[in-house]
Structure 1
Amino acid sequence: MTVSALVDKFLQFLKYHKLLIPKTKLYHITTDSKHGFYKSKDLLSNLEIKHSEQVFVSDITYIKIATQHAYLALVTDVYSKKIMGYKIDTNMRVQLVKEALNMAVKNRIYNNQNLIHHSDRGKQYCCPDFTEFAKSNNIILSTTQNSSPYENAVAERINGILKQKFCLNKTIPNLKTAQKMVKQAIEIYNNQRRHCSLAMKTPEFAHVNQIHKYKSYKKNKITILDAWECW
């Protein structure tokens, strides 16, 4: 029996006996899709993911700080699950997601054409300031069409990993500490955290070598193994 099959059986055992740690419910809204900006089509619905830097996905997640709110914008490569860019600040203005995408662009190592950027329909990702920035970097925009988390499953999953596995769901004393924690968490995640969906390789290894077959997180294909990726 393969390692993946053993892990799958173990996780099914934990779920059956209700031993899995329940996810923390979040009620802080980070997406405002009620705006008049143009919403792009969903280009990922029937797209076959074949290599790194074919598709980036983005999302904003809430980080609790003792005296104020903070928000973390992430840009992740779909194929390798590598976090390519990020930005944490005390606001959700468009500059937050622009800086995260700008870091992701600078961290690219391939010159693939037709890079797709996929996100929810939040106004930060649909406003002209962001769309023009993406266009200037030859990036094609794609957005979800409804509120289903499966339409941006990779981004949602990365949010959960960072918050559940790296304690970013706890109250952090201040923004400076949060920035340090986020930086450290992403470095460990990219370079040390092994994924079952990456054939037990790290995101950094998967991004460079591109030898694994992509596993979809679509609702009709998702498994316990996908949902609870292991170290």
Structure 2
Amino acid sequence: MTVHVDFCGEIHPVGTDEPLVIGRDGALTIDDNPYLHRRFLEVSRHGGITWLTNVGTRLSATIADGDGLMNAWLAPGAQLPVVFPRALVWFTAGPTTYEFEIVQDEPAYVPTVAEPTAAGETTIGRVAFTTDQRLLMVALAEDVLRRGNRGSGTVLSSADAATRLGWTLTKFNRKLDNVCDKLTKTGVRGLYGDSSKIASNRRARLVEYAVAARLVTRDDLELLDARPVSRED
């Protein structure tokens, strides 16, 4: 079995002798971002299984299979077996969200298909989102979706995302609360927490989850491009 990590087109093989360390000072040096751990994630192979381990102390990562059927939140100290032919990993350090891919020769899975409803909502699994809720997620994830390759992107601030949508900040925050509450009730973690960190952390976590679970894709960018800008209270 061969395993490698793809970051921005750079291929890093994962052997069985030692883990591939990802971070500010790892074998795969992501960035000189001071918010990023020197050693954050490790990709290793043992017992015939590929593993992703969070060896950091503060940051978490989101991992999903290539088709968005499964995603998990990898907290500090946690370890997860990677059993998919393609696994995508996202994490956020400061204002920047990063993405890389773990590739191995395993069987493929069937992708999830979103089903439109008569009420103009989109249902993915058991979660239904209104058009405004989808627009909010697309606006926050726009830079991550537009870059088109594995690498880094920026999650907009609430004020910038509200401006992008032509909404007031009050309306944006209300709808952000609604989306986070809806996902939290389905078991998604990391969208609520300490009040001093919630504003930035939940936007980043929402983007990671929305992209990983295919709640929004590059095709949804047309919702922003075709939308007339209007101001609402």
TM-score range, shorter chain: under 0.3
Query: Which structure ranks higher in relative contact order (CA pairs < 8 Å, sequence separation ≥ 6)?
Result: 1
Q: TM-score, length-normalised on structure 1? A: 0.23
Kindly indicate which of the two structures has a greater share of residues assigned to helix. Answer: 1
Kindly indicate which of the two structures has a greater share of residues assigned to strand. Answer: 2
